[in-house]
Amino acid sequence: MDNIHAPTVPAGPSSRPLANGNAKHLSFAELQVKKESLEAELKALGGVLDSHGVNMATPLITPDGFPRADIDVAQIRTTRARIIHLKNDYKDIMNTIEKHLHEHFASIQDTEEAAPASTSTGRAENLLGDSIPATLEEPFAKVNSVAAGSPAEVAGLKPGDEIQNFGYVNKANHDDLKKVAECVQGNENETILVKVSRRVESSRRQELQLNLVPRRSWGGRGLLGCHIIPL
């Protein structure tokens, strides 16, 4: 019998193209956005494994070679494979960022070159963060209802809000809202940044960034207390 708890994809070079194409051709801003997206998704996937009480190395078979019946073996294997994919992509992104930083600091003026080496990382992070453009992203879901006293209401979500980003989830990767559920499950009691577009007048919409904290103890069903439908 195959080793059922072994990852389904090998470690090593990135096993699939990055969503934004070759990382070497991305700008600083695009690299930073991609890096943060990968970090958020890896954190959420780690939360999925934690919810099952396993990690990347936990055996999924019994001593006599049968799949364990106390855990969802299929979901754990899928989650582990996804983590390996993302870690390979993350390594590529960080290598590319490092290359860009070396090129940047090699070209700055003498006054910048004379600054202490220990401050290079901080200056680089400011450069990356400040250069991210404020673009209006296309929404992929709509808030249909919000329960009173729920985490969704506390965060400021309202019926009719159109969701542009839910943590690392966006129109390109939401997978019929399955990734939203995954993000919520992996970030219980943690803050998720939710970007929404809200109609404030008949011809005008307002772009908002809300901090949503999924939790079970709010007194109602689910972790959010709202109903979201795909657009």
In a domain, residue 16? The reply is no
Residue 100's identity, in one-letter code, is H
pLDDT, tens digit, 9 for 90 and up, residues 54-67:
999 889 998 888 99
pLDDT of 104: 63
3-state secondary structure the chain: CCCCCCCCCCCCCCCCCCCCCCHHHCCHHHHHHHHHHHHHHHHHHHHHHHHHCCCCCCCCECCCCCECCCCCHHHHHHHHHHHHHHHHHHHHHHHHHHHHHHHHHHHCCHHHHCCCHHHHHHHHHHHHHHCCCCCCCCCCEEEEEECCCCHHHHHCCCCCCEEEEECCECCCCCCCCHHHHHHHHHCCCCCEEEEEEEEEECCEEEEEEEEECCCCCCCCCCCCCEEEEEC
pLDDT of 164: 92
In a domain, residue 182? The reply is yes
- Structural domain span for residue 171: 141-230
In a domain, residue 2? The reply is no
pLDDT, tens digit, 9 for 90 and up, residues 103-120:
666 665 455 555 554 444
Q: Are 165 and 194 in contact (CB under 8 A)?
A: yes
In a domain, residue 154? The reply is yes
In a domain, residue 167? The reply is yes
Which of 78, 106, 130 marks a domain boundary? 130
pLDDT of 99: 76
Tokens encoding 11? 């470690």
Q: What are phi and psi of 34, to 5 degrees?
A: -65, -40
Please give the distance of CA 180 from its chain centroid, rounded to a whole number. Answer: 10
Q: What is the pTM assigned to this prediction?
A: 0.49
What is the distance between the alpha carbons of residues 66 and 207, in angstroms, rounded to a whole number?
52
Q: What is the mean pLDDT of each run of 10 residues along the chain (231 residues)?
A: 42 43 67 85 89 89 90 91 90 80 62 49 41 61 93 94 91 89 89 90 86 91 92 88
112 lies in the same domain as 163: no
In a domain, residue 8? The reply is no
27 lies in the same domain as 94: yes
What is the distance between the alpha carbons of residues 223 and 107, in angstroms, rounded to a whole number?
49
Residue 26's identity, in one-letter code, is L
In a domain, residue 184? The reply is yes
In a domain, residue 4? The reply is no
